[in-house]
Structure 1
Amino acid sequence: MTRGVLVRVRSLETLESAYEAWVELRLAHGSARLRFQEEHERLEQQGSFLVGAVRAASQERAASAGTAPAAESALASADGPMRDFLRQAEEKLARAREALAKDESESEAHYRAAFEEIRTTLQDRARRYLAASPPRLRLLLRKVGATRAVLHVERVSGDVPVLLLYLFAGRIPSRYGFLFDDTTEDVSLPPAPLYPEEGVAPGEVRPEAPALVARVRAPGEVLPVKGFLPVFVPRPEGGEDFFRLLQRGPVMEVEVAEGPDFRGILTREESERFAGHLLRLKLEGRLELEVEAG
């Protein structure tokens, strides 16, 4: 399974094909783990059943002989052939468990190597694609009064979200279509900003802004973000502000972290610093940028 998937990844030079292979491997890995778990449970059940059967046989023999030993001593009082039967069965089960543990360890190592190759491939392609063709953004400024503004970025498509995440955060997303994924596990709630993968537990997919910032800053190769792009913008006095480009239909809305939440109406200074950050990336040749004030 893994060999065929990796051959396809090596032969097709696209980000999307590599992500499709990654999904296949995840599904296959999950199925393999489930099979091993079921086999472990089967062996445990078989061992428990054999011990119970021998105990029942011992009690039956004792009862037919006119004695009634306690259940816990019944096994100890089993005759030689029965003890031999149990010993042989337990030895066979022990060998089966050992072989299963070895197979499971080899399977996990196999999948770890395959996942590592795919992640490395995706990072390498993201770097090469960024160098060959910097993504193009169109920044739209909408004033709100004299001192505030709303910033939008025109919707992007194709490989661009993956490349932008790598440009802004130095990480690859866990899924190819992460930016446009508006699914939600609870229809009464907006889509969660994180996927329950890559170390994120199901109960951690809706963190407050500080925890989300910490997750984005945490070391690692993969970010399980969903529906937004993270951008850290330096402050003149030092430190950084955390902005996010939140996907909203035809545009991405620029929001800044404030307390436990995010704010979409920016001060003039915040909007200028965000635009200036993108402009710096443009001047460095890492981004194509068009700015429109309305």
Structure 2
Amino acid sequence: MSETTQGGMVKHAGASEGVSPDAALARLRALETLESGYEAWLELQVEHAASRLRFREERERLEQQGSFLLGAVRAAGLTPSSGAEPALVTPPAAPGDFLRDAEDKLTQARDALARRETESEAKHAEAFAEIRATLKDRVQRYLSASRPSLTLLLRRVGTERAILHLERVSGDTPVLLCFLFAARIPSRYGFLLDDATEDVSLPPAPLYADAGVAADEVRPDAVGLESRVRGAGEVVPLKGFLPVFVSRPSGGEDFFRLLQRGVVLEVEVADGTAFRNVLSREESERFAGHLLRLKLEGRIGLDIEVG
């Protein structure tokens, strides 16, 4: 339903005043778990998208109303019919006055909408910042209270090569390991075990279209993926893997990833624009040594099994 206001403006009964992120923040503050925090984050993202859509639709309605009223004024003419007796014709309202009044009301409606949109964006930005800060704080507290446990499985391939697996981890552990390995929180709670793909002819993408990653940027090569992980802010939109940077004796770092493969995480190393899962003896020993250092520092629990 709609109603016409004085001056010809059309007011839609269903027009929204914007949505509030208060419900998402209430969920965040009610429970102290990582999963509930990520649920609040997702809820806020959905609310934010809906809010932006409503504001866009309302702007389009205002533009349509303005165009319609201008066309109606031009079509009306607002002049006496030819041949009519002047004394018998009621003087019409001045076309300019009517049009100016309608334009003024349209401008006021646009300005009010812009103010509401600015306020909504600011409130959502504050809520997003609070959620990210809260999740980061929880991750750090969890890591200080307990160590993620890993089991490294070594499979020899001849005498000089090896394949490394880690037993699959679940629950909060992938989020904790992401922060431990990359100093960033993932954009989604269940990122590591997510093997969904939008194209069954392709393997799952290594990135979500989150945190500034466009939908056509979710499948970078190894070089692009490393650049994306290193260049991320406090949130990294990983999907199906964990990044690990391991120092080289000659300087610099190698980019390893722990790729989710069924019941294990397979260790792969970036080699040019691709990844390979068969590691040299030096690479496998260096990766295992990196995890061992983390264990000796008290940051993870680690068991190593040689098959």
TM-score range, shorter chain: over 0.9
Cα distance in 2 for partners of 1:100, 1:141 equals 61
Q: Verify: 1:289 aligned to 2:289, yes or no.
A: no
Deviation at 1:4, TM superposition (A): 2.8
C-alpha deviation, 1:65, in angstroms: 4.8
In the alignment, residue 236 of structure 1 is paired with which amino acid?
P
Rounded Cα–Cα distance in structure 2 between residues aligned with 1:188 and 1:53: 54
CA distance in 2, matches of 1:52, 1:209: 56
SS in 2 for 1:8: helix
The equivalent position to 2:217 in structure 1, one of 204, 211, 223, is: 204
Counterpart check, 1:93 vs 2:115: no
Q: How does 1:59-138 map to 2 (within 5 A)?
A: 61=79, 65=82, 81-138=94-151
- Which runs of no fewer than 5 residues in structure 1 stay unpaired? 67-78
Match in the other structure for 2:87? none
Q: Does residue 26 of structure 1 match 2:39?
A: no
Q: Matched residue of 1:183: which SS? A: coil
Tell me the alpha carbon deviations over residues 122-146 of structure 1, each in whole angstroms, 9 at most, x when there is no partner: 0001001011101000000000111
- Secondary structure of 1:138's partner? strand
Query: For 1:1-294, what aligned pairs fall within 5 Å after superposition?
Result: 1-58=20-77, 61=79, 65=82, 81-294=94-307
* 3-state DSSP of counterpart to 2:155: strand
Once residues 111 and 122 of structure 1 are traced to their aligned partners in structure 2, the CA distance between those partners, rounded to angstroms, is 16
Mapped to 2, the partners of 1:13 and 1:57 lie a distance apart of 64
d(CA) in 2 for partners of 1:61, 1:163: 75
For structure 2, list consecutive stretches of 5 or more residues without a partner in the other structure: 1-19, 84-91
Amino acid at match of 1:22: W
Identity of aligned residues (%): 68
TM-score (norm 2): 0.89
Q: Deviation of residue 52 (structure 1)?
A: 1.2
1:82-119 alpha-carbon deviations (Å, 9 max, x no partner): 11111100100100000000000000000000010000
C-alpha deviation, 1:56, in angstroms: 1.6
CA distance in 1, matches of 2:27, 2:69: 47
Alpha-carbon displacement from aligned partner over 1:201-226 (angstroms, at most 9, x marks no partner): 11100001111000000141100010
How many pairs are equivalent? Answer: 280
Q: Write the distance in 2 (CA, Å) between the matches of 1:172 and 1:219.
A: 10
CA separation of 1:278 and 1:54: change in aligned 2, threshold 3 A: same
SS of structure 2 residue aligned to 1:179:
coil
Cα distance in structure 1, aligned partners of 2:123 and 2:268: 42
AA aligned to 1:26 is Q
Looking at secondary structure, tell me which structure has more helix per residue.
1
Cα distance in 1, alignment partners of residues 26 and 207 from structure 2: 30
